[in-house]
Structure 1
Amino acid sequence: MVNSYTKTQIRKITRRFGLIPLSSDSIGSLYRKNAVIQVQTESGTYALKPFFRSLLLRSNTIQQIKTTADYMQLLINSGFSYMPKWLTSNSGTLWTLNQGRPFYMSPWIKGRKLEKQEDFEELGRALATLHQISSHFPHAKGPFTFKQIQLWQSQDRLFRRRMAKAIQTNEPNRKWYKKYGKSCNRLSERAWTDLRSPEIVDLLEKERARTALIHNDITTPNVIISDEGQLFIIDWDHMKVGSLYVDVAKSLMNTTQYNPDFNLSLLKGYEEIYPLDRIERKLISSLYGLPQEAWHATRFPNRPRSRKMLDIMEQTWLLRLKATDLLAEWTNQ
């Protein structure tokens, strides 16, 4: 059972959460044909979600769902209101197993996407509230931001090697590399210079002694403003203990479309709950400026999504540069 679920399977799993399904419909995403199943019941509409392990972790699927469920329980116990709560199964856990695949259920959130500055302010408050919820995570090993920077540096080196080779050949993306490759490198160098500064190195070292729970996948499809006006973040499968600075930078990149008002609104809402000092701002600004989409497209040059990412970068290039400069100015405000 890879990505296909029968009515019998859906009914069996749903009943384990104390619900009787009336109808169901599989909903696709960018990555999976049947990413979530919308289940209609007498008590309302729910999302039935298959859980897939992260290939970046060495642990198996069961270990990962157990850890994720523990994090979700922590959020529930903390009163975190920006998420649809997972239901408890008849076995007392927040998930159930069917044919080797973990599943969880939560209320279906109907609403709209992020549209207004007020929406982004609320998203900033939601992120800051999440990052302030901390506990003792003995299995988590920092410094989280430093590890992410090391990974991105290796991707940058790969990008430069493959770009040099592509320019000399007739690869499909050759024209893109010739037009934007050097500019990507300048953005990277600007960020690496800031990230090597003694003040940021000291901040990264201090991160060893602190933990933060992060969503790790804040994107436009994963944020919904409900019909009642409540902001919900969905799809918590990849939550983990990690870098709040990376979480903020990626959230800005993946939701604001480089709109300066949206960028500043998200940061304003965030700092209402979690004020940042100048060094922390500088770190977020530096991470935001990295051309990660170009690196990803270079790693998987033959994927249609990679070509689409390069096209989007080309269409938004000037906006991207202005947004990067805007965050640099925000650092010193």
Structure 2
Amino acid sequence: MTNSYTKTRIRKITRHFGLIPLSSKTFASFYRKNAIVQIKTESGTYAIKPFFRNLFLRSSTIHQIKTTANYIQLLMDSGFSYMPKWLTSNSGKLWTLNQGRPFYITDWIKGRNLENQKDFEEIGRALATLHTTSSRFLYTKGPFTPRQIRTWQIQDRLFRRRMTKAIQANEQNHGWYKKYGKHCKMISDRAWADLRKPEIVDLFEKELNRPALIHNDITSPNVIISDDNQLFIIDWDHIKVGSIYVDVAKTLMNTTQFNPDFIQSLLKGYEELYPLDRTERKLISSLYGLPREAWQATRFPNRPRSREMIDIMEQTWLLRLKAMDLLEEWTNQ
């Protein structure tokens, strides 16, 4: 897709939204070279985003974009202010098809990334607002947290098999496994034991009647503080009905960089709007401790991205352990 967004193609897409681009520029993301297109028009600056199907779901790309657009519409109708406005196409939908690929357009948010404790308090409030707002109009029931846990359990089992095989075969990365693999196993074992406790299992049952929308991919690059100091969460392609506890744990891991001040600020902001009891805190703490990066990185050990993830884990290992201790203290407060 090196030259997939020609000026002609961009004009065709924007025309469906009543826009005429004056100029355009393509930006890369962590995973895609042509992740987003910035267009400047007489009415403002916008972002064109291609929508990609989630390969873990059996549904089609069209079904997935329809579901995503419905959730986005519900949030916009409820006044949720922490995401860029999605534009409506001439057909009345929040997306359009071009060459078989769904595209959507949002306002372009100019600003900076998360920097200080105040920013992290605000991302906590944004996350809590998402969870509490969406729970008022959703009626879907399902084992939200247990479903995610089962997926992670499978990844953990595969990690352990790869670790054993690598050490026995004296593979190139066996040294990392010997140094950190056993620690990852110990951390996971402790988390799995906590997740089997009766009070946690009871919480799973209560969650069945409290469905909520989750962003499911809040990372540092996906949070922007605009020039007028408004916080925006971008890249809503993975929005779904799911576990708020998983959403909080993943956000903590993917944004705070194991900084204790940032962790405490995010949780403070979240609990201003969504107070958590001791069992809920314990669940988040246990989910946070799972070494998901190790599972992902060792799945394809020869890829540059995997090697980078392993290097980051080595550099931040002690910080990770201290962050886990901090969350354990938070649980017992």
AA of the residue aligned to 1:213: L
Displacement after TM superposition at 1:193 (Å)? 1.2
How many corresponding residue pairs?
A: 332
Q: In 2, distance between residues paired with 1:286 and 1:3?
A: 44
Q: Residues 59 and 35 from structure 1, CA distance in 2 versus in 1: closer, same or farther, beyond 3 angstroms? A: same
Does the 8 Å CA contact 1:218/1:250 hold for their aligned counterparts? Answer: yes
Q: Is the contact made by 1:28 and 1:35 (CA closer than 8 Å) also made in structure 2?
A: yes
- Measure how far apart 1:137 and its partner are: 4.6
| Counterpart-to-counterpart distance in 2, 1:136 and 1:150 | 27
User: How far apart, CA to CA, are the structure 1 residues paired with 2:171 and 2:114?
Assistant: 37
Shift of 1:232: 0.3
1:113-128 superposed matches below 5 A:
113-128=113-128
8 Å Cα contact 2:155/2:295 also seen in 1 = yes
Give the letter for the 1:112 counterpart.
R
> Is the contact made by 1:249 and 1:288 (CA closer than 8 Å) also made in structure 2?
yes
Structure 2 residue runs without a partner (length 5+): none
TM-score (norm 2): 0.97
Q: Does 1:29 align with 2:29?
A: yes
Q: What CA deviation, in whole Å up to 9, does each residue of 1:262-314 have, x standing for no partner? A: 00100000000101010000000000000000011122222211111111000
Q: Please give the secondary structure, in 2, of the residue aligned with 1:316.
A: helix
> Following superposition of structure 1 onto structure 2, how do residues 77-96 of structure 1 map, counting pairs within 5 Å?
77-96=77-96
- Where do 1:142-153 residues align within 5 Å? 142-153=142-153
Query: Secondary structure of 2:298's match?
Result: helix
C-alpha displacement of 1:3: 7.0
- The alpha-carbon deviation at position 192 of structure 1 amounts to 1.0
Aligned equivalents of 2:210, 2:230: Cα separation in 1:
30
| Aligned counterparts, 1:212-251, within 5 A | 212-251=212-251
- Taking only the aligned residue pairs, the percentage that are identical comes to 78
Q: What's the secondary structure of 2:22's corresponding residue?
A: strand
**1:253 is aligned to 2:253:** yes
Matches within 5 A, 1:63-142: 63-133=63-133, 134-135=135-136, 137=138, 140-142=140-142
Distance (whole Å) between structure 1 residues aligned to residue 251 and residue 28 of structure 2: 22
Preserved contact between residue 86 and residue 105 of structure 2 (Cα < 8 Å)? yes
In the alignment, the residues of structure 2 paired with residue 189 and residue 244 of structure 1 have an alpha-carbon distance, to the nearest angstrom, of 22
Structure 2 contact 246–284 (Cα < 8 Å) conserved: yes
Partner of 1:331: 331
Q: Could you tell me which amino acid in structure 2 is paired with residue 307 of structure 1?
A: R
Q: What is the TM-score with the length of structure 1 in the denominator? A: 0.97
Q: What RMSD over aligned residues (CA atoms) do the two structures have, in Å?
A: 1.2
AA in 2 matched with 1:321: L
Q: Distance in 2 between matches of 1:305 and 1:205?
A: 38
Query: What one-letter code is carried by the residue in structure 2 that aligns with 1:245?
Result: Y
Deviation >4 Å, runs of 4+: 135-138
Measure, in 1, the Cα distance between the counterparts of 2:269 and 2:311: 31
1:318 aligns with 2:318: yes
1:105 deviates by: 0.4
